[in-house]
């Protein structure tokens, strides 16, 4: 059998939704919504990490490449880290991409490289980075 007519189109009237569709909460706004960005704007301290040497230098991990250096924020609660909150830039260290991955837990630590020794090296790197930031005039001495 052949159809002779197009099927009926479903409309709001046929579904009994006229009141819902005309309500102000259902109507679309005239202005498009802004897309939320996940990254905070680059601060002067974060930007200063470009082309710097890695201060973390984890043994068996570091690639010693200055083109991958970023500011690695602390993951310790004592430094202000919390759920959904990064520690302050002042509590960070310059690190290459591989050292940063190990520090943040995205990559495994090498055999024999304990968590305590990693944190000890991180704290030394923070002190070294802080000294560089003071020389650059990006931090004020306490």
Q: Measured in Å, how far apart are the chain's first and last C-alpha atoms?
A: 88
Report pLDDT for 81. Answer: 86
Q: Is 142 contained in some domain? A: no
Number of domains in the chain: 1
Q: What percent of the chain has pLDDT over 90?
A: 58
Cβ(86)–Cβ(49) under 8 Å? Answer: no
Residue 86 has pLDDT above 80, yes or no: yes
**Does 27 fall in a domain?**
no
Which range of residues forms the domain containing residue 76? Answer: 44-136
**Residue 49 confidence (pLDDT) above 90:** yes
Q: Is residue 126 part of a domain?
A: yes
User: What CATH code is carried by the domain that includes residue 101?
Assistant: 3.30.50.20
Q: Tell whether 6 is covered by a domain.
A: no
User: Is 101 inside a domain boundary?
Assistant: yes
């Amino acid at each position: 059998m052949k159809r002779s007519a197009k099927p009926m189109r479903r409309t709001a009237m046929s579904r009994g939704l006229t009141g819902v569709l005309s309500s102000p909460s259902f109507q679309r706004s005239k202005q498009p919504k802004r897309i939320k960005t996940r990254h905070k704007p680059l601060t002067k301290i974060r930007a200063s990490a470009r082309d710097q040497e890695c201060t973390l230098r984890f043994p068996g991990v570091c690639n010693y490449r200055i083109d991958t250096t970023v500011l690695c924020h602390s993951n310790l609660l004592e430094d202000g880290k919390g759920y959904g909150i990064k520690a302050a830039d002042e509590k960070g260290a310059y690190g290459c991409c591989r050292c940063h991955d190990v520090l943040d837990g995205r990559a495994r630590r090498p055999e024999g490289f304990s968590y305590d020794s990693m944190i000890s090296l991180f704290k030394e790197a923070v002190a070294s980075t802080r000294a560089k930031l003071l020389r650059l005039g990006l931090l004020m001495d306490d």
